Structure 1
Amino acid sequence: MHYASFVSPEGTPSWGIVEDAKVYDLGPGGLDLAPTLSDAVREGIFGTVSRDQFAAAPAVDEADVRFLPPVTKPEKIICIGVNYRSHQEETGKVEQKAPTVFTRFADTQMGHLAPALMPASTTQFDYEGEMALVISHDAWQVPKEEAFDYVAGYGAYNDFSVRDWQRNASQWIPGKNFPGTGAFGPYLVPASDIEDLDSMVLQTRVNGEVRQQAALGDLYFSIPELIEYVTGFTKLSAGDVIVTGTPGGVGLFMEPQGLLSEGDVVEVEITGLGVLRNTVQRSE
């Protein structure tokens, strides 16, 4: 099932299930199962709602809601850099001994169809199509053999990057934390709904042109390895997000460069997780 966080036509933030272009409200404006999708994850409700149950909820057309990031206020967003061999090769960062890790702040995120805000201070705005996972419950020093027990669900992510700010120094955080640059959504799909994670394909398109494409099985550090590594140094809580890395094909390393301009439409599609779409807008 496709779960989503959204703002209703009446302006009420809520969450629910999307099916056949209808949004069934399970939050405060509907069945009131939990205040937010994050609370639903924390309380063990996420992924357990039956079709008969959500069909009884009030519904509106998907086109009439404003999508929010599925998890609107995670305590931690941990991002992984250069985690596909194709991206390692184009960046020259090959044979890593451990994952490259940086943080993204929750207030930089936006949802499906929201504008991707290109800062006025840059001419190097880039896309990074990725898959994100959401943690199901408190996780600390999790062995990789148990890692999938800590995954609530998966969604598409676009880690829009301000390359000149990112490359000013060895730390990437400035280039990854401008407002309106962390696109997440449109849906969060329960891990229990995924039959073969490795065969799922991630594709990023700019104005319809395919720029990135890879199977999730091509991750250099696997999801269990990432969870083991990240929880080895920080405690994660229900609703926290790990963004797992981007394949080769980012605009910076194309010849000629394929960096983004105002008006470009960027889509990240992952098998079974939907299409995340954002249009680049120059911020003031």
Structure 2
Amino acid sequence: MTAIAPERMPALYLSHGAPPLADDPVWPGQLADWSAGLPRPKAILMVSAHWEDAPLALGATETVPLVHDFWGFPERYYAVRYDAPGAPLLAENVRKLLRGAGHPVQDVPDRGLDHGAYVPLVEMFPGAGIPVLQISMPTLDPRKLMDIGRRLAPLRDEGVLIVGSGFFTHNLAAMRHEGVPGWSAEFDAWGREAMAAQDIDALLDFEHKSPSGRLAHPRTEHFAPLFVTLGAAGDGLESRRDVIDGFWMGLAKRSVQFG
């Protein structure tokens, strides 16, 4: 019997939200609806804004405790579990793809999923039945991250869902409980238009070419996962679809699917 090749998976960039995302009246349903329209992944490769480590690190390949990398929240947020299976075969494939291209790779076998990974996964794949591997960002350089995404792109043909998890605008010092700051709305509109125009050069130089870029991202780690996604999307940028938009506490929660 001939084996059926897995369906090619899209590449995603999502705004992952803080732990209170679970209490939002809208956002969890948006993420659940999104995943319901996706092909069933064989595995998920997560790149989160909350793990920077060089050289690029592979997290746990077996189920280990989550990383509750936040402080001052009610106790119920620290009781959340997401016991997804590890993905050792995916980890081996990532090693081959990156080391073969001259990218050093390290293993951090006790590093569990952080909230940039598990908070959206709880809503999108609540059964925790899909193997998940999280990798670190070894740099915040957009061009280098795009190159990593390009190297990882063949995994999409093996049924792997590649997810960059950040936040489309991220300035916690200037966020608001009511209303949307001008800098957040301006950057969100600019980013939407740049992606629609497939203007990769503008996105790569977003700190200088966007309005309010330094206010929207005083530090760029929450925008950086987008570039891994863009690299993994390859020539699929014309298939871009904005799945989630709007704002949460003044921050743009734009989330995008390619392919």
More helix by share: 2
Q: TM-score, normalised by structure 2?
A: 0.30
Q: TM-score, normalised by structure 1?
A: 0.28
